[in-house]
Amino acid sequence: MGEITEKIIWHKCKKCGKLQYPEHLRCLTCKNKEFEEIEAPSEAILLTYTILTAPPKEYRNKESYALGIVEFPNGIRALGQITSEKNLKIGMKLKTEYAEICADLDGKAVRTFVFKPIS
Ligand SMILES: [Zn+2]
C-alpha cells in the first residue's frame, strides 16, 4: 500500500512546473532537483477499485476493505483506502480525508489519507 502519509502532497518542479506524485528525486521532465510542495485538492474521481478480503493483521476487526485509485482534475492519480465498500461506482466523486484506518500491532492508531464517497 506504500508509505503512510498524512496528506497527498504533489511536488511541483521549480524549473519547468511539472507536478509529480509520488515524489521523485529529480524532475522526470527536466532533471531539476528543486520542488515546491502543493497539497492536492480534496476532490477526486474514482478510476478503479478492489475489495481486499485478507487485510493485514493491523485491521483486526475488519474482514475486508476497499482500495482504490483516484484521479484528480489535473490527471494526477493516487492510491488509497476508500471508507466504504458499498455502492462504489467508477467515475464517482470522492473526498480526501485524514483518518484513523487501523491500529498497529502495539495498539497505536495508524492515520493516513482515505477517500470518502460523496453522496
Ligand atoms: Zn522540471
Check: CB of residue 51 under 8 Å from CB of residue 65.
yes
**pLDDT digit string (tens) for 6-18?**
678 999 999 999 9
Mean pLDDT of 99-110: 87
Q: Does the predicted model carry a pTM greater than 0.75?
A: yes
Q: How far is the CA of 12 from the centre of ligand 1 (A)?
A: 8
Surrounding ion ligand 1 within 5 Å at CB are: 13, 15-16, 18, 27, 29-30, 32
Q: How far is the CA of 37 from the centre of ligand 1 (A)?
A: 14
CA 92/CA 88 separation, integer angstroms? 7
CA 97/CA 74 separation, integer angstroms? 19
102/84: higher pLDDT: 84
pLDDT of 2 > 50? The answer is no
Among 3-7, 50-54, 94-98, 99-103, which is the least confidently predicted range? 3-7
- For domain 43-117, say whether CATH 3.30.70 is its number: no
Write out the three cell numbers for 52. 481486499
User: What is the average pLDDT score of the chain?
Assistant: 90
Structural domain boundaries of the chain? 9-39, 43-117
